[in-house]
Amino acid sequence: MDIRELLCESKEDRDSVSAIFGEIKKEFSGSSDRGITVIAASMIDLLMEDLLETFFVPFESKTDRKNIFSSNGPLSNISNKIEMAFSLGLLSTFDKKLLKTLISVRNKFAHQIGGISFQSDEVIQKCKQLIIPDDLLVAMDIGHKIGNRTVIYKPRKEDYRGWFQTATYVAITILAHRKMIFLSEKRHSPDDIKHRSEFSKENIISTKALIELAKDTISNKDKYNLASQKLERLTYLLNRLKLTLAFHETQEKESYDVVIIEK
């Protein structure tokens, strides 16, 4: 079965997806060296934005979205998008390195008007970092098979333009995969705080959790190979936590019985 039949409900959608992939292949095959780096960076930029938006709490308005991604927004720059996604745990170390290297190749072309190609030394050094391990290569055409086996073509070792294109396709596939993971883990804004007692309640919950952890560690001191000095320190911290808990519990009770004075 064609994956597009699973991802797209209607024939029109499948035809649209096919057209997009066809257009990408056409652009890659017909564009100049500079052109394919611009196309690749544009696609990655859009997919990075899509990935981040999937993870973020929903924007309340188009203006809110624009304030993040457009103009002088903190995530208007593609490098910032990559760094943010990595810091949020949306990308692996490999993902980040791959994306940053692709963008750095684009920047080489963007900052030099002429005399640059995939045969330029500075570009070659970057593209050598884009040689994808065989186990991570993906099929450009899922319908191309020999017998029942999918055919995956890879560029020759010194075909740096080919490796840039292949690495771009792998990056696009990775970003689509990452997005699918976080679609089922949608974030939402926290509930509004309605009363000052909630501050103490959260402190009580976290302090109780730390107390239980400390008790468990002390009870299993042999399992954790705790030296006597560390055991004494942990016992001291446990007693401090109990005092902290008592303080927060008192604060919670007192937060309901206050006098509000305007002055």
pLDDT 10s digits, 214-252: 999 999 988 888 888 999 999 999 999 999 999 999 999
Contact 118, 108 (CB under 8 A): no
Residue 87 CA to residue 94 CA, distance in Å, equals: 13
Contact 144, 150 (CB under 8 A): yes
Q: What is the pLDDT of residue 60?
A: 84
Residue 80 CA to residue 70 CA, distance in Å, equals: 12
Residue 2 CA to residue 14 CA, distance in Å, equals: 10
pLDDT tens, residue by residue, 146-192? 888 888 888 898 999 999 998 998 898 888 888 888 877 777 788 88
DSSP three-state, residue 108: helix
Residue 107 CA to residue 162 CA, distance in Å, equals: 18
Residue 3 CA to residue 15 CA, distance in Å, equals: 12
Does the pTM exceed 0.85? no
* Percentage of the chain exceeding pLDDT 90: 46
- The CATH class of 31-183 is mainly alpha
Whether pLDDT at 19 is above 70 = no
Contact 119, 34 (CB under 8 A): no
